[in-house]
Amino acid sequence: MKSIYKIVWLAAIVASSSGCASIVSKSNWPVTIHSDPSGANINIINRKGVEVYSGRTPATMKLKSGSGFFAKESYTVSFKMDGFQDKKVTLECKLNGWYIGNVVFGGLLGFLIIDPATGAMYKLENDFVEARMDRTDNATTMAPAGEHSLKILSKDDLPAEWAKHLVKL
């Protein structure tokens, strides 16, 4: 009978010294970033103003969900490409459902110390970010190779060499 109490006591100590979200979940989350058109320069800045990633789309990286004890992280993703308007997208973190599991499994240490300290109490809201970038007014009128575009011109604005190819409808 004493050995059963020892096993129960040992299980209670182990359960109370771990964090549920830290065990079942994670504190670094993968996120994929795309842009339309592809190949935009991206910079990811965290809530403290520190650049955590710089590269081109498409890109996949892991981002932390915590920003300190009981603080969730947020990121600003900046998209830049010549001929297109800059774009910014905010990426937020939210409460991880596994954190509530500490009430049943993780105990007080997991609820108040372990998961808040590791950042596992939060998770990224989105694992995919896509930005559609609009052309700027001063962008070239020629479409990049492989893309088609339509531009309507007045007859008076046509170059003389084009005018001779006009067909009356």
Cα–Cα distance for residue pair 94/121, rounded to 1 Å: 9
The yes-or-no verdict on residue 158 having pLDDT over 70 is no
Backbone φ, ψ for residue 100 (5° rounding)? -65, -25
- pLDDT reading at 140 higher than 50: no
pLDDT average, residue stretch 8-27: 55
pLDDT at 54 over 70: yes
Domains and CATH numbers, the chain: 2-135 (2.60.40)
Which two tokens mark 167?
Answer: 């067909």
- Supply the pLDDT for residue 85: 94
Query: In Å, what is the CA distance from 21 to each residue of 38, 61, 71, 106, 135?
Result: 35, 21, 15, 8, 43
* Chain length of the chain: 169
Is the Cα torsion angle 52, 68, 98, 23 positive or negative in sign? Answer: positive
Q: What is the pTM of this model?
A: 0.64
pLDDT of residue 149: 60
Q: Are 84 and 76 contacting, i.e. CB atoms less than 8 angstroms apart?
A: no
- What is the chain's mean pLDDT, rounded? 78
Greatest CA span in the chain, whole angstroms?
104
Neighbour count for residue 136 (Cβ, 10 Å): 13
Give per-residue pLDDT as tens, 125-135: 888 999 999 99
Cα–Cα dist 75/81, whole Å: 20
Q: Are 76 and 125 in contact (CB under 8 A)?
A: no
What's the pLDDT tens digit per position in 60-119? 999 998 887 888 899 999 999 999 999 999 999 887 877 677 666 656 766 676 777 777
Q: Which residue has the higher pLDDT, 107 or 147?
A: 107
Q: What is the pLDDT of residues 30-51, one digit of tens each?
A: 999 999 999 999 999 999 999 9
Which pLDDT value is given to residue 43?
A: 97
